[in-house]
Amino acid sequence: MTIGSSYNYPSFVAKDTSRTKRSAGSKWTARFPNPPDLCFDYRALVEQKDGIAKATDPNHRICIIGAGVTGLTAARELYRCGFTQITLIEQSRRIGGRHLTVPGSPSSAASHTPFEMGAMRMPFFNRADEPPTAGRSLMAYYTQAFELAFSDFANPGSQWVGSTGIYLREGSMGDGVNPQMLIWKNQDGVTPPPGEELQRVFAKWKAFADRMTRHVAQTYADPEWESMWAAIVDKYQSVSFRDLVRMPALSAWDKRSPGDFGGMGMSAEESAIFYAIGIGDGSWGAFYDVCSLYPLRTAIFGFSSLLQLIHGRVDSTGDPLESPHMNSEAVFDSTGLSFDRPRYIGLAALDECLMFMKIDETAKSVYEHSRERNNGLLTDSSVTQIKKLTNQQTRVYYNWKHSRPAETQEHFDDFDSVIVTLPSWLIETRIRLENFTREMLPFETINAWKTAHWETSCKVFAPLKKSFLSKNSKIPQVIVTDSFIHDVYTYRYNDNYSYDCILLSYTWEDDATKLASFSDKELVSKCASELDRILMNCTNIQERISPYIGIDRAVVQRWVTDKNALGCAKLYRPGTYYEAVSLMKYNRDFGHVSGLYFSGESFSVDAGWTEPCFRGAVDAAIHICNKTDAVFNGGFTMSDYPHYQLKS
């Protein structure tokens, strides 16, 4: 998404809005920028001194399947409410799910530059005139609460990189006769990309996006917002992003058709360029055939604005702050099985804080409380069946010591509520659901998660000599290509770390699938060789990057073949948006009857991001609190909690 740099306009237009949108409704009303479906300030609910609510039935038994960020957030917030019978079941031997931070030197006690093999750049939904932690988001809240360090992410085309190299069509774009790499320096944040062709594409994207953002920001959270968003959905839910790019542009927005902002009006040639370099943080070509509402939500509502790199719970030198179990040789679950100890480095520090940091209201962490009970935390345990019992409880079957077939044992336990946070392909292929009637679990719900589209993604990270960013003057810091490597990022966490890092190749969807046949070693070598070839082919570069790269210490992550994920991000194709939204409605409509609550990215429409996982976790907690007659804090009632809207 390079052509628009990071699309920060939502944060700037929000700053310039003359009125504070939260005042348009109650204190629970969200402000722009924020996701469009529910104008609800989840942070306002969670950041209260006593959290969401006070449990009146603390012994209500709750099972949370999956210890990614969704499951950990649900566990923490329910424990804050006073629920004391929470069981967290995790299939792998680590926590965090697709927050996967790989330490540069796992065997070393020293701090090293981490590789973010999963999520890596976080939107805080802050406005341009305030710090990220002031954003009205759960990411901003937890970052502040856990004292996580962060910095502006080095996105292509942004002011946070020294320069961005653009290499398309074997270097034939531009004015030169010989192959060259276009160099984009944007230190002021407003410099357009180089060359007439790129600037023409940039102008068409920006005209469309800025007009839509301006009108959305003016209406967001007002009484007419729901009808305006419904009109936008009706206009674009059956349109692919590819078609939106080619759709004729409108000269002006007409309030009589509030959902129609036209398209970008690009020619076939311009669309091909946009396919390769997109709108601000990597190639968008992999998303060309998904529902256009996904990129619109991403760009217009703050998901790609002022993105941040999470350094971890660390000091100014990059060393971890004193934190629970940081110096432990091992940590153990409730049964005595060991799992990955916390390091508090990188984005994984967020998940580790959710698990290991003490909670003010309980004076204990989720981990401490779980260890006091023989089934509070179960790792290396794969859920195989969820069965509704005649007494209205739900039985959860799981294979303990899942990774050790010779030692695996089947166990089960009964619960009053079950929160499922898994990627939906894992639900379909690993878990059998029994005795749930259609009134509890409609087939339409099952079909919606079975037919969800999960995309693959491949990342190739390696150590980078510090001399590259300190002394190199020819090779751009970030490179975007239409080659199979696609996007290359280099960045520095800390001057004290022994090396920087390079994301040698970052691909999605078909671009990642085409790399599946190569071994990790072959792929690393192939990516380094291809990048060298490109740089040497450019008459304005002609220098190899491989001497700067620690090829032998590179790490590859392929999410679609990860048995604990089976995909990187859930998307939805044109015409399936309403089905995706129906999954988000399930907790309110059916959870109190079925005892099941579905949370996480599988049951969101904002793929690949942490914020909807937070929101899904809190949503499940809200509904369990409501079901058990917990006393909500701060005067909140369910009438303050808006409904997801589906087509009538």
The backbone torsions φ and ψ at residue 411, rounded to the nearest 5 degrees and listed phi first, read -130, 165
pLDDT value for 466: 95
Q: How far apart are CA 283 and CA 59, in angstroms?
A: 49
Here the tokens at position 336 are 């005595």
Q: Residue 1 pLDDT more than 60?
A: no
Please report the pLDDT score of residue 366 as a whole number. 98
The percent helix, strand, coil of the chain (3-state, each to 5) is: 35, 20, 50
Q: Tokens 């190899």 — which residue? A: 544
CA angle 549, 553, 554 (to 5 degrees): 75
* Diameter of the chain measured on Cα atoms: 77
- At residue 349, the pLDDT reads 98
Amino acid 23: pLDDT: 45
H or E segment and range at residue 505: strand 500-508
Q: In this predicted model, which residue has the larger pLDDT, 276 or 78?
A: 78
pLDDT band with cut points at 50, 70 and 90 for residue 157: confident
Instruction: Tell me if 60 sits within 8 A of 348, measured CB to CB.
Output: no
> What is the percent of the chain with per-residue pLDDT over 70, rounded to a whole number?
95
Q: Express each pLDDT in 106-154 by its tens digit.
A: 555 566 799 999 999 999 999 999 999 999 999 999 999 999 999 999 9
Q: Whose structure tokens read 């002394």?
A: 471
Using CB atoms within 10 A of its CB, is residue 395 exposed (0-12), middle (13-18) or buried (19+)? Answer: middle
Distance CA 576, CA 448 (A): 9
Please choose, from the candidates 551, 332, 601, 570, the residue with its C-alpha nearest in 3D space to the C-alpha of residue 457.
Answer: 570
Instruction: State the pairing for strand pair 394-400/409-415.
Output: antiparallel
pLDDT in tens, 337-368: 999 999 999 999 999 999 999 999 999 999 99
Q: What is the pLDDT of residue 274?
A: 87
Asked whether the predicted pLDDT for residue 3 surpasses 50, the reply is: no
Secondary structure element (H or E) that encloses residue 272, with its range: helix 268-277
Provide the token pair at 536: 């040497």
- pLDDT band at residue 6 under the 50/70/90 scheme: low
pTM for this entry: 0.96
Q: What is the mean pLDDT of residues 164-185?
A: 89
Residue 21 predicted with pLDDT over 60: no
pLDDT digits (tens, 9 = 90+) for 550-607: 999 999 999 999 999 999 999 899 999 999 999 999 999 999 999 999 999 999 988 7
Q: Summarize pLDDT for 101-113 with one digit per residue, the tens.
A: 998 765 555 667 9
Which residue has better confidence, 398 or 285?
A: 398
Q: Is the pLDDT of residue 244 over 50?
A: yes
Q: What is the mean pLDDT of the chain?
A: 92
Mean pLDDT of 526-539: 98
Q: Average pLDDT for residues 375-387, to the nearest whole number? A: 98
What is the pLDDT averaged over residues 291-315? 93
pLDDT score of 648 more than 70: no
Q: What is the pLDDT of residue 107?
A: 59
The pLDDT, as a whole number, for residue 483 is: 93
Residue 182's H or E segment, with its range, is: strand 182-184
Q: Which two tokens stand for residue 432?
A: 């059998």
* pLDDT band (50, 70, 90) for residue 449: very high
Q: Which stretches does DSSP call E strand in 299-342?
A: 308-312, 331-332, 338-339
Residue 22's pLDDT is: 47
Query: Tokens 């995790």, residue?
Result: 90
pLDDT of residue 645: 81
C-alpha distance from residue 17 to each of 20, 218, 305, 486 (Å): 7, 7, 17, 37
pLDDT score of 499 more than 70: yes
Per-residue model confidence as pLDDT tens digits over 399-448: 999 999 999 999 999 999 999 999 999 999 999 999 999 999 999 999 99
Strand duo 569-571 + 453-455: pairing: antiparallel
Domains of the chain listed by start with CATH number: 1-49+193-305 (1.10.405), 58-152+307-444+574-632 (3.50.50.60), 163-189+457-566 (3.90.660.10)
pLDDT reported for residue 4: 41
Q: So what's the pLDDT on residue 612? A: 94
